[in-house]
Amino acid sequence: MIFGVDKRIWDEYYRCVNQDLIKNLSKDSSSKVIFLVLDGLGDLPINGKTTLQKAHKPNIDSLSKSSIYGLMDPIAPGITPGSGPAHLSLFGYDPLKYEIGRGLLGALGIGFEVKEEDVCARGNFCTIEQGVVTDRRAGRISTEKNKELCQILSSLKIEGIEIFVEPEKEHRFLVVFRGTGLSANLSDHDPQKTGLSPLLVQAKNSASAKTAELFNKWLTGVEAILKDESPANMVLLRGFAGYLKLPTFDELYKLHPACIASYPMYKGLAKLLGMDILKTGDKIEDEVKTLTENYERFNFFFLHIKGTDKAGEDGDYEKKVSVIEEVDRFIPEIMKLDPDLLVITGDHSTPALLKGHSWHPVPLLLHSKYCISDDLPSFSEKEAKKGALGRFPMQDLMGIVLGASGRLAKYGA
């Protein structure tokens, strides 16, 4: 209880008031902000060290003496987030208010025009043996193989609806059902663990019963048509979603933002928030070059690094270390741009030890000339715990960023 009010009600009230307050106080400024987001950055120690502690990262560590630190909970303590809600929270949106299925983000990320009568789902090509999932990513098949399989699946038809099957990247694809009376209120088909059988798509209410039946019918056809393929002999669906509109960065924060990312899902989320999507390559070097070439055009940059999350999900501790070290080599080039504020963080934790997302808080480094530094020796989960920002809800980060970059007006007389 807080002031005699149930804490859950208080938290919901606070989230709404906080975003409205920031919106009302936001103002134009010449300051520039860079969000360097190493997806799944947070970690757990192996042999006594997390990947941040193990990595040789002299350039990031050199920022430590002039930065402030903290730890962030993407949703709430103990809750393991998906990438969509975690990024929403990172950008100051209430992930409990705006529930966005992964399917919609994937659709927007590849430039698919989503209509109000659409239901989108995120798909993984996977490997099934004796009815059980043995690899949720089918060995991370190539994008070229993905395109071939999507072409095969496009031959499946169901009377009364249009079906679109589009490749995203590696093992990921998009499926969209278009027709009257469809509903996205469906449970996932993906069990999200190996050693389990795929689930039936189930309706969460009576209005979605027809749609669940249609997706299950389609999945039966997929099983038949892919049965002789290897390793991608089946698919898993999750993140069912329909059309949704959110307030944009410009509306909330008076920012002109750009997204630099290689994976469609993150470009989709950025597009939903009103960011310009900048064309870039697959390498970190390509993304930093894109940042440099477009620096004068925007005042907020979302620079997304996927490799840390990918390595964590694969349980590849050394690879995650190497991705952090590669990012570090480009820090001098980023700092040459002289941003007014630089954030280095993740959207969630993906410990190599767990081979998946986890509930552990995310370390944050915030570098700004308008902050009193923590004067800590290096950037890691352990050091972040000592920082002046403490442990706080990730959704509050944008308020801190706007204040520290001179983009919030004074409250009150």
Domain enclosing residue 162, as ranges: 105-241
Closest CA to 218 of 210, 228, 207, 206: 210
Of the given ranges (12-16, 259-263, 298-302, 392-396), which has the lowest mean pLDDT? 12-16
Single out the residue in 198, 213, 241 at which a domain terminates.
241
Looking at the fold, whether 277 and 370 belong to one and the same domain comes out as yes
**pLDDT at residue 119, rounded to an integer:** 96
* Domain count of the fold of the chain: 2
Q: Please state the separation of Cα 203 from the chain's center in Å.
A: 26
> Does 410 fall in a domain?
no
The two tokens of residue 391 are 């442990």
Single out the residue in 222, 241, 260 at which a domain terminates.
241
Within 10 Å of residue 203's Cβ, how many Cβ atoms? 17
Q: Inform me whether the pLDDT recorded for 14 exceeds 90.
A: no
**pLDDT at residue 15, rounded to an integer:** 54
- The domain that holds 91 is classified in CATH as 3.40.720.10
**pLDDT at residue 8, rounded to an integer:** 53
Cβ atoms 132, 195 nearer than 8 A: yes
pLDDT (mean) for 53-75: 96
Confidence of residue 35 (pLDDT cuts 50, 70, 90): very high
Q: Where are the strands (E) in 316-400, listed by range? A: 341-345, 362-368, 391-393
Looking at the fold, whether 73 and 111 belong to one and the same domain comes out as no
Closest CA to 167 of 117, 211, 88, 232: 232
Looking at the fold, whether 204 and 232 belong to one and the same domain comes out as yes
Cβ atoms 122, 110 nearer than 8 A: no
CA distance 312 to 318: 10
Q: Inform me whether the pLDDT recorded for 7 exceeds 60.
A: no
Number of Cα atoms under 13 Å in the Cβ half of residue 59: 14
Single out the residue in 206, 241, 276 at which a domain terminates.
241
Which percentage of the chain shows pLDDT scores above 70?
96
Confidence of residue 65 (pLDDT cuts 50, 70, 90): confident
Q: Please state the separation of Cα 132 from the chain's center in Å.
A: 28
